[in-house]
Amino acid sequence: MIESSDIHFGNFDGFSWIRCGGKGDFATSSEMKKCAEHLLTTGCTCLVIDLEACTGMDSTFMGTLTGLALRLVKQKGGGRMEIASANEKNTTSLEDLGLDAFMEINPTTASWQRILPEVRMQLRAWDNMTRLSARQRGEQVLEAHKNLTVANDSNAQKFGLVLEVLENELKKSDPATDS
């Protein structure tokens, strides 16, 4: 086990919620993804990611968001991701990668807008933390960047070298000796 994350979550009538605090980076994305997968097993069709306390996002975090959004859209009966309280910097980062095509950013008419303070007060800390091996971290970063290229063709140019380096590093690593 590792120390507590700054991920909080809850299930509500008609939506599930994940609040991410601090920097949205590869470590945060791992915990956010596990939390989202847990919520998806409960029948979640609308996943809200609350970025009010998120100070910034790296490409791995945004790629993880993208993977979750694509998964929701493809699920039987459809689903959607909504981004709550994204500041200007985070909104710009998502839009610059074309991710607003897969998630609604700061939707003003969302049902949860009228109960936002109550939702945040009812969230529980995500405490199902696990340590990933170096190989698992590498696979997660690779998957997130592949999600970005699937989401928007222009991202393939932006992240092509990153994908190549990550794939080569994973080929070199031996899962039996990774820790």
- Residue 156 dihedral angles phi and psi, to the nearest 5°: -60, -40
Identify the pLDDT of residue 5: 63
Identify the pLDDT of residue 1: 31
Identify the pLDDT of residue 174: 62
pLDDT at residue 23 is higher than 60: yes
Identify the pLDDT of residue 77: 82
Alpha-carbon distances, residue 126 vs 29, 30, 47 (angstroms): 13, 12, 16
Ordered by where they begin, the domains of the chain are 7-131 (3.30.750.24)
CA 26 to chain centre: 10
* Whole-structure pTM value: 0.89
Identify the pLDDT of residue 2: 37
Positions of E strands within 54-123: 54-57, 80-84, 103-105
pLDDT at residue 40 is higher than 80: yes
Across all residues in the chain, what is the average pLDDT?
Answer: 90
User: pLDDT (tens digit, 9 = 90+) per residue, 136-178?
Assistant: 888 999 999 999 999 988 998 889 888 888 888 888 876 554 4
User: pLDDT (tens digit, 9 = 90+) per residue, 100-125?
Assistant: 999 999 999 999 999 999 999 999 99
Question: Residue 76: which pLDDT band, with cuts at 50, 70 and 90?
Answer: confident
Identify the pLDDT of residue 176: 52
Identify the pLDDT of residue 171: 86
Identify the pLDDT of residue 128: 78
With a pLDDT cut of 70, the percent of the chain lying above it is: 94
Torsion of CA 41, 43, 45, 46, to 10 degrees: -80
